[in-house]
Amino acid sequence: MLRELFELNFTRVRRYFGTRRAAKAITAALFALVFVGVAVGIYQFFFYSLKYVSIYIYLRTAISLYAYELYFLFVGFLVWVSSIIVILFSLFSGKTYGLIIVSPNFRTAPKYSAISALLSSAWIYLFVLLPAVLAARTVFGISLAGVLLVLLAGVLFLVFAIYATFVEILLLSRILMAIRSTFLTLGSLVLSQVILVLIGFGLMGSRISRLDLVQALGILDLHAQQAAFSHLLANFRIFPTNLVAETMVNVQASGLGSALWPAFGILALALAVVALFYGSLRWFLPVWQILAEGSQARIADNQRARRRNIIFTRMLRSSFGAIFYKELMALFRNMRSAFWLLFLMLLWLSHVGVNILFQRNLHRYNFDNPALTSTMIALQLTIICYFLAAMILRFAFPSFSSEKNTAWIIASAPIRYSRLLWIKFSFYAAVFSLLALLVEAVNLLVLHLPVGHAFMFLLLAIVSCVLLCALGLALGAIFPNFESDDPQRLSTSIPGLTLVFSAVVYGALASLAFYQFINGAAAARLWLFMLGALLLALALMSLAATMAERVEFIKGE
Partner 1 sequence: MQLTISKLTKKFGQKIAVNNVSFSAASGEVFCLIGPNGSGKTTIVKTVTGLLHPAAGSVQIGEFDIQAQPLEAKQLIGYIPDEPTAWSSITGEEFLRIVGALYNVSESDCNARIAELLPIFNLESIKSEYFEDYSRGNKQKFSILAALLHRPKLLVIDEPIVGLDPVSAEIAKKLFADFAKQGGIVLMVTHTLAVAEEIASRIGFIENGRMLAVGNLDELRAKAATGARASLETVYKALL
In Å, what is the CA distance from 530 to each residue of 150, 523, 524? 48, 11, 10
What's the min distance (Å) between Cβ of 557 and partner 1? 10
Which listed range, 190-198, 226-234, 240-248, 328-336, lies at the site for partner 1 (CB under 8 A)? 328-336
Among 126, 134, 330, 547, binds partner 1 (CB under 8 A): 330
In Å, what is the CA distance from 184 to each residue of 170, 288, 292, 293, 338? 11, 11, 11, 11, 19
Phi, psi for 413 (deg, rounded to 5): -90, 160
Among 237, 282, 307, 333, binds partner 1 (CB under 8 A): 333
**Residue 180 and residue 259 in contact, taking contact as beta carbons nearer than 8 Å:** no
**Residue 155 and residue 274 in contact, taking contact as beta carbons nearer than 8 Å:** no
Exposure string of 511-540, with b = 16+ CB inside 10 Å and e = fewer, is: bebbbbbbeeeeeeebeebbeebeeebeeb
What's the min distance (Å) between Cβ of 189 and partner 1? 17
Closest CA to 447 of 391, 522, 384, 525: 384
Among 407, 437, 462, 547, binds partner 1 (CB under 8 A): 407
Which listed range, 10-18, 57-65, 278-286, 549-557, lies at the site for partner 1 (CB under 8 A)? 549-557
CA gap 305, 316 in Å, rounded? 17
Applying CB under 8 A, does 554 fall inside the site for partner 1? yes
Q: Identify which of residues 225 and 296 has a Cβ nearer to partner 1 in the complex.
A: 296
What's the min distance (Å) between Cβ of 198 and partner 1? 22
Applying CB under 8 A, does 317 fall inside the site for partner 1? yes
Among 13, 412, 450, 451, binds partner 1 (CB under 8 A): 412
The site map against partner 1 for 296-315 (x = CB under 8 A) is xxxxxx-----------x--
Applying CB under 8 A, does 23 fall inside the site for partner 1? no
What's the min distance (Å) between Cβ of 423 and partner 1? 11
Among 2, 316, 441, 538, binds partner 1 (CB under 8 A): 316
What's the min distance (Å) between Cβ of 409 and partner 1? 6
What's the min distance (Å) between Cβ of 185 and partner 1? 12
Closest CA to 388 of 328, 484, 455, 460: 460
Applying CB under 8 A, does 556 fall inside the site for partner 1? yes
Among 370, 414, 450, 520, binds partner 1 (CB under 8 A): 414
**Residue 428 and residue 472 in contact, taking contact as beta carbons nearer than 8 Å:** yes
**Residue 215 and residue 232 in contact, taking contact as beta carbons nearer than 8 Å:** no
366: helix, coil or strand?
coil
Question: H or E element: which one contains 332?
Answer: helix 319-332
What's the min distance (Å) between Cβ of 478 and partner 1? 17
Q: Identify which of residues 245 and 477 has a Cβ nearer to partner 1 in the complex.
A: 477
What's the min distance (Å) between Cβ of 93 and partner 1? 11
The site map against partner 1 for 365-404 (x = CB under 8 A) is ----------------------------------------
Closest CA to 243 of 119, 177, 160: 160
**Secondary structure of 540-556 as H, E, C letters:** HHHHHHHHHCCCCCCCC
CA gap 473, 537 in Å, rounded? 10
Residues at the site binding partner 1, with contacts judged by CB under 8 A:
294-301, 313, 316-319, 321-323, 325-326, 329-330, 333-334, 405-416, 550, 552-554, 556
